[in-house]
Structure 1
Amino acid sequence: MRHKCSRLRLKQKPAHAKMLERNLITSLLLYESIRTTRKRAKVIQPAIDKLISYSKSHDPQIAIRYVNKVVTDKNACRKIMDVYITRYKDRSSGLSRIIPVGVRKGDGAQVVDITLIDADLGVKPKTEEPKKKEKKQAKPKAEKSSAASKDSEKPEAKKKTPAKKKTTSTTKKA
Structure 2
Amino acid sequence: MRHQKKKKILGRKKQPREMMLRNLASSVIMYEKVKTTKAKAKVVRSVVEKAITASKKGDLTARRKLLEILPQKMAVKKLMEVLGKRYKDKKGGYTRIIKIGHRQGDGAEMAQIELV
TM-score by length of 2: 0.92
Residue of structure 1 equivalent to 2:79? 80
Deviations 1:113-143 (A, max 9, x none): 00000xxxxxxxxxxxxxxxxxxxxxxxxxx
Residue of structure 2 equivalent to 1:71? 70
1:7 positional shift:
3.4
1:68 positional shift:
0.6
Matched-pair identity in %: 36
Residue of structure 2 equivalent to 1:110? 109
Please provide the CA RMSD for this pair.
1.2
Q: Of Structure 1 and Structure 2, which has the larger fraction of its residues in helix?
A: 2
Unaligned runs of 5+ in 1: 118-174
Q: How many residues align?
A: 114
Code of the residue aligned with 2:65 in structure 1: it is Y
Higher RCO (CA-CA < 8 Å; seq separation 6+): 2
CA distance in 1, matches of 2:86, 2:26: 18
1:9 positional shift:
2.8
CA distance in 2, matches of 1:92, 1:47: 16
1:54 positional shift:
1.6
Provide runs of 4+ in structure 1 moved above 3 Å.
Answer: none
Residues 1-174 of structure 1 aligned to structure 2 (within 5 Å): 1-2=3-4, 6-57=6-57, 60-117=59-116
SS of structure 1 residue aligned to 2:55: helix
CA distance in 1, matches of 2:14, 2:34: 23
1:6 positional shift:
3.8
CA distance in 2, matches of 1:64, 1:77: 7
Deviations 1:89-133 (A, max 9, x none): 11111000000001000000000100000xxxxxxxxxxxxxxxx
Code of the residue aligned with 1:78 in structure 2: it is K
TM-score by length of 1: 0.63
SS of structure 2 residue aligned to 1:105: coil
Code of the residue aligned with 1:109 in structure 2: it is A
Q: Of Structure 1 and Structure 2, which has the larger fraction of its residues in strand?
A: 2
